[in-house]
Each structure stands twice: as structure tokens, then as C-alpha cells.
Structure 1
Amino acid sequence: MPRPSNLPRFHILPRLPYDPPMLLHHSSWPEVEAYLKRSKGIVIPIGSTEQHGPNGLIGTDAICPEAIATRAGAEADFLVGPTFNVGIAQHHLGFPGTLTLRPSTMIAALHDWVSSLARHGFERIYFFNGHGGNVSTIEAAFAEIYADASLAQDASNRGPVRCRRVNWWDFKPVMDFCKERYGSSHGAHATPSEVAVTYFLQPQAIKHVEMSPKVAPWGRYTDADSYRAAFPDGRIGSDPSLADPKDGEKLIALSVAGLIEDFRKFEAA
């Protein structure tokens, strides 16, 4: 009997070359309690929901760190928390689909996330970031968190909480690859590297768009109207038509290696 054409098609995914990751959302509380007996560290992917030029996915800045952290957590057996996927993106609001938080809102949310984890005994909270626009706000949130301890009048038996923020592209092998592969066409936003990572992860989302100009301009901006006027198609200094899924696979592997090494050092500090 022929298969009805209106039924969804399901694809069997290849066997993963690593164990399933330990994700907070997929764990029971006894499993988290057991994890805390061997580690006080957790990785939190953090990104943004914003336009990424005419061929990039709006979720790029959350998709990249989430995928890399999940792979690294599976290989190195550390806990990965839920992705903080809306960040500081007010300047992208001139493009449909973008979501943003105010800096004060994000600081308060991060403070509560860290305080919740610390309540259970986590002492090393590692934020793995995918959006450059988040950096100053994340660091401001850390300052608020540390101020709690410095200003506390009563002693506490809670362990010292330390936070760290690293961007997924910060590791030298990742940056070296981008410089060699893309040169001056890499740019600062809607870059071929981040688009390549999403294309490897989501091949059905690959879009072939002719860029005009080929390499986007650089410039300054303030609010959403200022940004849209300076960068009409959303790119800054980049040519994301260079994005290749094979590059994305390589970039993920390089960043996974860097994350594992860096998190282990932070976890042990």
C-alpha cells in the first residue's frame, strides 16, 4: 500500500559519537543532587533573539552557544542549564522578529538565575555567550551578584559563588580559523562563521541570498532607527554568503575543545 503523501516524513538521526548530554531540563532533582556531590559547576548558554541579515536565522546567537555547550557537556560530562535566549538587542528592533530585554531587566533576571543555582549549592556559574551586545550587561549582573556578598551583614554558610562569561568565538583556534577563512569579510554582525554554524545544525534553513554590497559597511549606531539607517539589510562589515556548513562543523569542534578546557579550569578554581 503506498504511503499517503500528506504524512510527515521522519528521518533517523545517525548515532552520536558521544554520550547524551546532562541537561538541567532533562534531569530529575535527585540527579542534580547527585551531580552536586561531584561538581559545583554548570554551563549556561546565553544569547539573543535578533535579526542576522538576509540569510541568517533570528535565533543564531542562542543556537550557536547552546549547540556547542550541549556537545561539550556530553563529551566532558558536565551539567548544561537552560539557554537564556533573549538578550540586549534593542538596536535590532527595526527588523521584524527581534526580541529584546532592557539592560535592567536582564541584570535582574541573571541575578535571580544565579541566586537560584547558588541556593542549591552551585558555586561556579559559567555563562557561554553568543551575542556581543550582551557582554556589558552580563558583566554588570556579575557586579550586582558580587555586591550581595560584599554588602551582606550576616555571615553565611553558602559557598563563594563565582561567575564567568566567555563568548563561543573567544578561543584562539576559533578566531584563527575565522581570520584565515574569511579575512576582512568576517565583519562584526551576521558573520559567515555564526551563519555557518547554524547552517550545519539546520541544513534545511540554508538560504542563498545575493549580498549587495558584497561586504557590508561599518559604522556607528544608537537606537533601532539609527541602526536600520546605517545597515539596511542588518549586516555589519560581513559577507555571510561565504557561510558553509562544513565550516560550521569545524567551528563547533574547535569551540567545544576550548569550552571543555576553560570550564574545567574555572570549575577547579
Structure 2
Amino acid sequence: MKLQHATWQEVEDYLQRASGIIIPIGSTEQHGPNGLLGTDAICPESVAWELGARHDVLVGPTQSIGMAQHHLAFPGSISLRPSTLIAVLRDTVTSLVRHGFTHVFFLNGHGGNIATVNAAFAEIYSGRSLRSDGQSSGALHLALNNWFAGPRVRELAQSLYGDAEGGHATASEVSLSWFARPEAVKDVAMSPRIAPSGSAQCDAEEFRRRFPDGRMGSDPSLSRIEHGERFQAAAVEDTWDAYRAFLGEGLQ
């Protein structure tokens, strides 16, 4: 069930039986010569939509612009400042809490978001704890889960690509984005085959000097739509395990 495709009455009915919601979060940034700018939002969105359809979980609108300043030397990349993303997430959660949601689960597709999302959680919890009236606002649980970090996904990436998976513009994320958007597949030769590795802790101009075509240690020419279908299945299972545990319903 997608929140943006529901009526307010349907959301009200949902809240009678559940108080959890999944919010995909990603980025709009370069993903090398054959990866889509929307890869980091497309991937968690695809996984979340499948979970919603299978398990009657409400899925919120995708937060598709994230913290991606180090990619801004590549045309098309868009970034929020960390402080802006924190404010957006705080207002998103506050809106949902007003309606009765108690468990907000962010399904992330971009490593560069992790520190800022966790800082947003700290701001939200601090705001509740530091209320001037000293009153509790009721239970609130927040979680960040990275679709690419689950055990099934990691095992599949290792078996398919080994060290050529890399750290950015990876074969796994490109494969999953192609499975979700098969009309957008790109056939591009990579040179060198495996890109240089290194740190992304730098400004945009330095990042482009270090990684001229945008890849970090990866060979996404190995990407395939059929691989993406397998990554989707693995990520759905990994995420369902994580979401159930978040709700307190993990396997015993």
C-alpha cells in the first residue's frame, strides 16, 4: 500500500491495525557511466513497494534527494545540506507521529545519508526529551536500514562480482535499478575495467579528480537485469526480517 496512492480514509483504516510505515530514502547523484542518477532512490523504493504489496505495510513517498555534495562535480547530481535533510526528516516524522504512527522505518539506498539520518534521529529524540513541560509525547521508534547491507544481498554480491562490486556505482545497485527500470539499461564499456578505490571524504572537485568517471572500485559492466531480480528478492527478505524485528515481531 503506497501512501501517496491512498485516500486519507484508507490511511485512517490502516492505523486501526498497524502503526508502522516504511519510507524509502536515497539520493539523486551520478552512478558512473551506466548507472542512473536515481539509482539510490529507485533501489529502496522498489524493495519497499514489493514489501508493501506482500505484507500490507504502508510505504511512504520516497525521499529521493539526500546528502550527496561530493558528487556535485558531475552534472545532474543534486544535494541537500546535512542541516536541510535533518529538517526534512524531522518534519516528516513529526507529521506521521501526529496521525498515530509509532514506528518509522527508513529504507536507505545511499551510504552518504547514514550519518545525517542518524543525526536527524538524535534531533527528533532530543526534541521530545527536552520538552519544556516535561511530558512524554508517547512512544516513538525510528530505524535506518540499508538495503545493500543485508546478509543475503552481501552474499549474492560476493558470489556474482567478488572484488569488482566496489563501493559506489556498484554492479549490484545498477542491476537492481535496471530490474526496476528496464527501459533505462545502458551498455557502456568501462575503462579501466575496475575503477580506482579511495575515500569519498572530500569536496566535489576532489572527488572527481580521484574518480574521473564516478565509480569507486567497481565494474558495473557486470550488471544484468536478471541479477537485479535476484537482488530484489534477497533485499525483500533481508528487509522483512529487519522490519519485523523493528516492530518486535522477529523470529524466535
TM-score, shorter chain, exceeding 0.5: yes
Q: Output the amino acid matched with 2:161.
A: Y
User: What corresponds to 1:243 in structure 2?
Assistant: 223
Q: Deviations over 1:33-91 (max 9, x none)?
A: 11111111000000000000000000000000001000011101110000000001111
TM, length-normalised to structure 1: 0.90
Alignment map for 1:48-127 (pairs within 5 Å): 48-127=27-106
Decide which of 203, 214, 217 is 2:196's aligned counterpart.
217
Alignment map for 1:181-196 (pairs within 5 Å): 181-196=160-175
Offset of residue 220 of structure 1: 2.6
- 1:178 maps to 2:157: yes
Question: Please, what is the CA RMSD of the aligned residues?
Answer: 1.1
Q: Distance in 2 between matches of 1:156 and 1:116?
A: 19
User: What corresponds to 2:210 in structure 1?
Assistant: 230
TM, length-normalised to structure 2: 0.96
Contact 2:42 2:177 in 1 (8 A): yes
- 1:169 maps to 2:148: yes
- 1:25 maps to 2:17: no
Q: Distance in 2 between matches of 1:23 and 1:207?
A: 29
Could you tell which deviates more after superposition, 253-262 or 151-160? 151-160
Offset of residue 156 of structure 1: 4.5
Offset of residue 30 of structure 1: 1.2
Give the match's secondary structure for 1:268. coil
Contact 1:129 1:166 in 2 (8 A): yes
User: What corresponds to 1:202 in structure 2?
Assistant: 181
Q: Which has the larger radius of gyration?
A: 1
After the TM superposition, list the runs of 4 or more consecutive aligned residues in structure 1 that deviate by more than 6 angstroms: none
Q: Distance in 2 between matches of 1:75 and 1:241?
A: 32
Q: Distance in 1 between matches of 2:17 and 2:181?
A: 35
Q: Output the amino acid matched with 1:44.
A: I
- 1:257 maps to 2:220: no
Q: Distance in 2 between matches of 1:31 and 1:204?
A: 32
Number of positions where the alignment pairs a residue of Structure 1 with one of Structure 2: 248
Offset of residue 152 of structure 1: 1.3
Unaligned runs of 5+ in 1: 1-21
